[in-house]
Amino acid sequence: MNIQNLIRPVIKALKPYSSARDEFQGNSDAMVFLDANENPYNNGVNRYPDPQQKNVKALLSKIKGIPVKQILLGNGSDEVLDLIFRAFCEPNQDNVISLPPTYGMYEVLANLNAVEIRKVNLSEDDFQPKVDTILAATDAHSKVLFLCSPNNPTGNSFSNGSVLKLLKGFKGLVVIDEAYIDFSTEKSWLTRLEEFPNLVITQTLSKAYGMAGIRLGICYASEEILKVLNTIKPPYNVNELSQKKAIELLNDKDLASVQIKSILEERTRLISDLATISFVSKIYPSDANFILAKVDDATKRYNQLVERGVVVRNRTTQFGCENCLRFTVGTKEENEELIKNLLLISKS
Ligand SMILES: *Cc1c(COP(=O)(O)O)cnc(C)c1O
């Protein structure tokens, strides 16, 4: 596959803005910086942040085993996804494929970028991609296929066989959104980046790593693809405070794994507790930190929970999710509060 042929002509021709911090690449110790019109008085944030976030990437590279050159960071994965649209999808001409029920941002970003979104529903019984139907829905203008695995809001991972067929059969970029991969029993596709030149993987520090507040999304892809995204990304897209906090928490080696372990234990407990609620009729298998469950009347139950101070996600309007609520796995205390209130509601 020739990635160059997928890039929008305007992007190919673009000359990127070169920031002061991009142009000076020498050793930054003991230098006098009079190049960026900053205030010289040190308060910890008076300097522009590193536009290439070298220290954060070095840590991620070590944790994930991927070379720094194959990592790009964004202001949340939502920014990364937006960069992919802007680099590869010609407005009013190209299209992308998404597989409902899934993460809502793919459609929002498609609309924002004036790019047609072709929806091919997941199978209704087990929420798996229908490979042949997906490939039949594509044409020469299909630039990106979004695979969210583990999928939000259903919680399941896509079968490796289906993903493999799509990676081989689709003639554009396959973006695997692995926001929930650290909760999953399935392996990440990161180890197979070399094999598939059209593979783009997004991850985030917002979920398992506990840093939704700093907005740090991660894109792993070939150097060729990242070169394009780097050309168009805003120069200082990840701010200094976010970079510092990410470094601090990523350096705390066992923090995430300890928390993930207890979230997974809580998930098991929450699943068995939910099964005791009379109006819960189905609990879907989860490979993530949330549980999708079918109830008798999702909107009624959602409102009853809100009245009692517990906010969950009502997914009833999504394809295949009629009367479904999505429960994020919280702390032991939070989950007990949820179950206590569900029991009270069921007895009222
Ligand atoms: C939460 C979530 C993200 C994370 O987005 P950020 O912008 O990095 O916070 C990405 N994809 C999916 C499917 C999600 O559910």
Q: What's the gap in Å between 78 CA and the centre of ligand 1?
A: 7
Distances (CA, A) of 328 to 42, 146, 217, 237, 325: 41, 23, 20, 29, 10
- State the number of CA atoms in the 13 A half-sphere of 7 facing the CB: 17
CB 120 within 8 A of CB 127: no
pLDDT for 31: 87
Same fold? 3-251, 254-347: no
- Alpha-carbon gap, residue 162 to 160, rounded angstroms: 6
Domain boundaries, the chain: 3-251, 254-347
323 in ligand 1 pocket by Cβ < 6 Å?
Answer: no
Nearest CA to ligand 1 atom 3: 179
The whole-number pLDDT of residue 348 equals 85
Mean pLDDT value across the chain: 96
Q: What are the angstrom distances between the C-alpha of 178 and each of 34, 145, 170, 286?
A: 41, 14, 19, 14
Q: Could you name the CATH architecture of 254-347?
A: Alpha-Beta Complex (3.90)
Q: How many CB atoms lie within 10 A of CB 92?
A: 9
pLDDT at 22: 77
Q: Amino acid identity of 186?
A: E
- Ligand 1 probe mutation, 183, 206, 209, 290, most atoms within 8 A of CB: 206
Question: Ligand 1 center to residue 216 CA distance, Å?
Answer: 10
3-state secondary structure of 32: coil
* Cβ–ligand 1 contact at 73 (below 6 Å): no
Amino acid at site 27: N
- Contact in structure between 332 and 296 (CB atoms under 8 Å): no
Any ligand 1 atom below 6 A from CB of 182: no
DSSP summary character for residue 124: T
Q: Is 217 in the pocket of ligand 1 (CB under 6 A)?
A: yes
Start-end of H helices in the chain: 9-12, 20-23, 54-64, 77-88, 105-112, 131-136, 160-169, 223-232, 240-251, 255-274, 298-307, 332-347
Give the DSSP H/E element, type plus range, for residue 119: strand 116-119
* Phi, psi (deg, nearest 5) at residue 336: -65, -40
pLDDT given for residue 277 in this prediction: 98
Residues of the chain with pLDDT below 70 are: 27-28
Q: Quick one: pLDDT at residue 94?
A: 98
204 Cβ below 6 A of ligand 1: yes
Residues 6+ apart with CB under 8 A from 40: 46
Q: For residue range 82-113, what is the model confidence (pLDDT) as tens digits? A: 999 999 999 999 999 999 999 999 999 999 99
**C-beta contacts of 226-231 below 8 A and 24+ residues apart:** 226/69, 226/70, 226/71, 226/72, 228/3, 228/7, 228/11, 228/87, 228/88, 229/72, 229/80, 229/83, 229/84, 229/87, 230/16, 230/72, 231/11, 231/14, 231/16, 231/87
What pLDDT is attached to residue 20?
80
Q: Which pLDDT does position 196 carry in this prediction? A: 98
Give, using CA atoms, the residue closest to atom 14 of ligand 1: 179
Instruction: List all residues 6 or more positions away from 39 whose beta carbon is below 8 Å from its beta carbon.
Output: 46
Residue nearest atom 5 of ligand 1, based on CA coordinates: 77
The top-level CATH class assigned to 3-251 is alpha beta
190 alpha carbon to ligand 1 midpoint, in Å?
17
